[in-house]
Every structure is written in structure tokens, then in C-alpha cells.
Amino acid sequence: GGLQGYAHAAQLAALLAGDDADGRGTAGLAALLGAAEGTAGYLAARRNDWTGGHAEMITYTGLGGNAIGLGLGAALLGEDDTADDDGRARVFGGTALLGSLAGMYLGHRMGRTDRYTEGDARIYAQTAVQGANLVGSFLSVDEFPNARSGSLLLTGSAVAGGLLGRRLVRDRDFTGTQGNLVALGSVAGSLLGLAVTLESDETATAIAQALGSAAGFGVTYGLLEGDARGQAGASTSSFDLDVHVGPGLARRPAPGTGGLTDRIGPRVRVSASF
């Protein structure tokens, strides 16, 4: 909440004031929204007993939605030379804000309908980054189509990566450490791709680092996936206990006689679920 509050302040200022947004005013608004959103997020998480995975899903989908909103704004504007700087700032601010809010809501709904660990959320976010990185590297090829097409492809690849990530963590419980290891594997693969193409042109380097990053992600994920599946199975196992002692006799007043009568029925019934 605190991190996104700063971004929301800058985007809100751009939406309202366009390119004429005052730097000092924007900084003050950023401090205010950062504190307000951070506090609100903390209170909401405590009141609703959100898990760490639920909270991180809201964070990552909110950040992803913000970036997707910027991509959609770029696609809307394209290479339109008639749009001035003020109009562009307003469009980018509005689409980014809408994307961020929609992403946070989506992350919350996903956290309510499925169970995500912190590692699950991090791997889910990584796949969205992988999708954008792969497509973005190929967009560096010379004479690629116009900016609008590039923006749509980048945005669509990030969304597709997120959808793939959701499938990759289904029925698996990755720990936070395992999620971090997958991210480190991705970084290591990217650095390897950069190293082997250090003397090549920029396009080859961009493509090599993206492929290396995807390979590092895939190898590390494959090494940890079995453990994550076992952890999910252990956490979803259940034990049911139903104890019924009876029938027994119970004494109760007999209607209209003032005496007692016997009633046969269960004396003790205990039910427990784990």
C-alpha cells in the first residue's frame, strides 16, 4: 500500500494537472497517499486475517495492473503526433490508476477463491515478468511494427504470463524461500545470456538474456515443483472424527401426569474436523 501510494499520487497528479503538475505538490500528495494506503492495507489485512500469500497477490497484481495500464495508454495514443504532452500525461495517469485499482481488486478476489502462499505469489509475478521480457526482447528487432502494436504485444504477453503463472502454482505450495530461489534462477539465466553475447549487437544480447532468464526460471521451477506439490498435499490432508455414544435413557416429565417417563436417545455426540 505504501509503495503503490507514491505511484498513485504521481499518476493522480498527472491525471488532474497533466504536464503542469507541480513537483512540490506531487511530492506532498505522494507522502500523504503512501501513508494512507500503507495504513489502510495493514488494517485491512489484520481485520480480515489475510495470509502473506493473499497480501502479496494484491501487491503484485496491483503493480502489474499499473504497468498494464501504462501499456494500454501507450497503445491508445500510438504515434499520434497531434496529442500534446499535457494530453499524454493525463491519458497515462488515468489508465495506470485504473489498471492498478483493477489489479488490486483482482488479486484480492484471487486470494479469496484460491489459497496462495507467499512463494506462489512470487512465482505468479515472475511468470508475468517473463512473458513481457521475452516479447520485449524480440521487439528490439529493427523495423518492428508501430508503437501501438508493440505496446499491445507487451501488455498481452504480461497478461498471458500471469495466466500461465496461475496454472504453475495450482495444487502447489511454494514457500517464500522457494519463490525467491526461482527468481534467482531467472536472474542467473539472464546474466548468463548477457555474458555469452557480450560482444554481439544489442538485439542479440536482449534476446539471449530473455531466453536465459526463461531457461533459468524453468530449471529452478522444475527442481522445486515436486516439493511444492508434496507440501500442498500435506497441507490439505484432513482428519474427521465423529463420536456417538448412545442410545441411552433420559428422564423427562410426562405431560399431564406430573411423573417422569423414560426417553431413548443419544446421550453424547462429538464431531471434529482437522
Which pLDDT does position 90 carry in this prediction?
Answer: 87
User: If you average pLDDT over every residue of the chain, what do you get?
Assistant: 84
Q: Is 155 helix (H, G, I), strand (E, B) or coil?
A: helix
Helix (H) or strand (E) segment spanning residue 88: helix 85-113
Rg, the chain, Cα only: 27
- Report residue 35's pLDDT band, with 50, 70 and 90 as the boundaries: very high
Which pLDDT does position 152 carry in this prediction?
Answer: 87
Residues 6 or more apart from 36 whose CB is under 8 A from it?
A: 5
Q: Is 82 helix (H, G, I), strand (E, B) or coil?
A: coil
Q: Which residues pair with 269 in a beta bridge?
A: 244
Q: Is 261 helix (H, G, I), strand (E, B) or coil?
A: strand
- Report residue 235's pLDDT band, with 50, 70 and 90 as the boundaries: low
Structure confidence by residue, pLDDT tens digits, 7-34: 999 989 888 888 777 788 889 999 999 9
- Evaluated on CA atoms 156, 158, 162, 165, the torsion sign reads positive
Structure confidence by residue, pLDDT tens digits, 177-191: 999 999 999 999 999
Which pLDDT does position 128 carry in this prediction?
Answer: 94
Helix (H) or strand (E) segment spanning residue 263: strand 260-265
